[in-house]
Each structure stands twice: as C-alpha cells, then as structure tokens.
Amino acid sequence: MQSTPTDRDVAVAAHTRSAFKELYLVSGAAAQLGAYGLQVQEVQWQALARASNNASAVLGARHEHESETAAAFRQLAALCDDLLDRRALGHACPSAIWRDLARAGRDAYERMDT
C-alpha cells in the first residue's frame, strides 16, 4: 500500500525545494562574478552564507542511503562553506574555485526533478 503525502510532507518538500533553489541561485550568481574576476559584494557573501546554512539545515545529518539530489546539494553547500572559509581567512578565491562552484550548482539543480 502506497502512503499518501500529508500536508506536513508537502510543506517540508516545498521548504526543501525552496532552500535548494535559493542555494543554486545565490551560489550561481556569485560564481559568475568570481569566475570572471569581478568583485562579489558583501551583501552577496551574506546571501551565500545564509543560503548555504539554510540548505545544510534542511539536509541535516548525512544518511547512508541519501538521494542523488541531496548528495549533490550537500556537495554544493560544502563548496560554498569552503569558499566562505577561504574568504574569512583572507585567502584568495581563484577563478577555478568559482568555476567548480558553478559546475556543482548546475549538477545539483539538474538532479532536482530526477
């Protein structure tokens, strides 16, 4: 017997999807600037940190049988966190890191509906 989603299940799914989309959009915008050597503004860094935190909170602890979508967004959040850590330590963020972030974002977004 197949279970029917409850209103709570639907709300959680919508919240999760929203957090993932926010992370994709914010990281993609920052990655586009960074990959071309353009300055990422403070407000964009703050949005990236907030989106990464929101996605990580939605993802919670890693599960052994995690979906490909969750794993891809976990990887994207980890790359965002690494980038934010580099910035906090005053290290340069080379364009290769930004390109990796953009690639991870595209990969994660493509998996949302699979």
How does pLDDT run across 4-22, given as a tens digit for each residue?
656 655 566 788 889 999 9
> Which amino acid does the sequence have at 31?
A
For residue 46, pLDDT over 90 is answered with: yes
Domain count, the chain: 1
Split at pLDDT 50, 70, 90, the class of 74 is very high
Query: What's the pTM value of the predicted model, to 2 decimals?
Result: 0.85
CB 77 within 8 A of CB 23: yes
For residue 48, tell me if it sits in a domain. Answer: yes
Q: How far apart are CA 101 and CA 18, in angstroms?
A: 19
- Would the pLDDT of 98 be above 60? yes
Asked if residue 2 is part of any domain, the answer here is: no
User: Whole domain around residue 50: which residue ranges?
Assistant: 8-110
